[in-house]
Amino acid sequence: MTDQLPDQLDSVLSTLTPIEQMPLRMQIADMLRRTIVSGKLRPGSVLVETALAEQMNVSRAPIREAIQILENDGLVETVAYKGKRVKPLTAREIEETYSLREVFEVMAVRRILEMNKPVEPLWIHCRAMATAARNNDREALTAADEAFHRTLIRLSDHDLLLASWNSLYFRIHQIMALRNVAQPNLAEIAANHPPIVHALEDGDVDKAVSLISEHTRSIADLDPASIAEMNL
């Protein structure tokens, strides 16, 4: 038995791959990206390289490279004579993002029902939202909210649809976060999701489509311009 252990260990180790260290610029970009899409760093916020470098205890070079990554993501823009800032949201961009999101999610709902896909994974995020609402944790609620809708898209089993959703992900998450700041009733946000899952479980395509459409259009109740005005 003891003679077999080295061979077993070699076999296990052969399946492992080397751990790749993430370049510093990617780590910084990831941290800044999270603060932007979570709404903590508001649209219009100026990104000062020296201040960020001092705060993160790094040189300015990786900060500059990280900001360029975020500019490529569409989250940061360059303003003449002023430098880099978190790209402001416009009422039109919010409306267009959510109207396209509605198309994506209606398509996902129809495919889920056509293929009779199990929707139990959606309940995980419903419960997470309910818990976050009880704890008055807006960040956790936004994360669970986004996870619910991403799971809805994944369950549709459509690679191009998922890729299209991913292309909008940063803006969708950012708008969700800002909307949840403007919406004081977190329990109401959480409560909007279980009826969608129930309709899917019941195989009621008309009701499921109606609910998901109503849900994605709810941004209009808060007025897209009001969210855009959260720009600094």
- pLDDT higher than 90, residue 213: yes
Task: Report pTM.
Answer: 0.76
Please report, for the domain that includes residue 41, its CATH number: 1.10.10.10
Same domain, 47 and 95: no
Same domain, 62 and 13: yes
Please report, for the domain that includes residue 169, its CATH number: 1.20.120.530
pLDDT at residue 89, as a whole number: 85
Q: What is the domain count for the chain? A: 2
Same domain, 166 and 223: yes
Which residue range(s) make up the domain with 121? Answer: 91-228
pLDDT at residue 164, as a whole number: 92
pLDDT at residue 166, as a whole number: 87
pLDDT tens digit string along 42-63? 888 899 999 999 999 999 999 9
Task: Determine the average pLDDT of the residues in 172-181.
Answer: 80
pLDDT at residue 225, as a whole number: 67
- pLDDT tier at 14, thresholds 50, 70, 90: low
- pLDDT higher than 60, residue 170: yes
Q: Say what percent of the chain tops pLDDT 70.
A: 85
Convert the chain into a string of H (helix), E (strand) and C (coil).
CCCHHHHHHHHHHCCCCCCCCCCHHHHHHHHHHHHHHCCCCCCCCEECHHHHHHHHCCCHHHHHHHHHHHHHHCCEEEECCCEEEECCCCHHHHHHHHHHHHHHHHHHHHHHHHCCCCCHHHHHHHHHHHHHHHCCCHHHHHHHHHHHHHHHHHHCCCHHHHHHHHHHHHHHHHHHHHHHHHCCCHHHHHHCCHHHHHHHHHCCHHHHHHHHHHHHHHHHHHCHHHHHCCCC
- pLDDT tier at 16, thresholds 50, 70, 90: low
- pLDDT higher than 60, residue 13: no
Same domain, 61 and 99: no
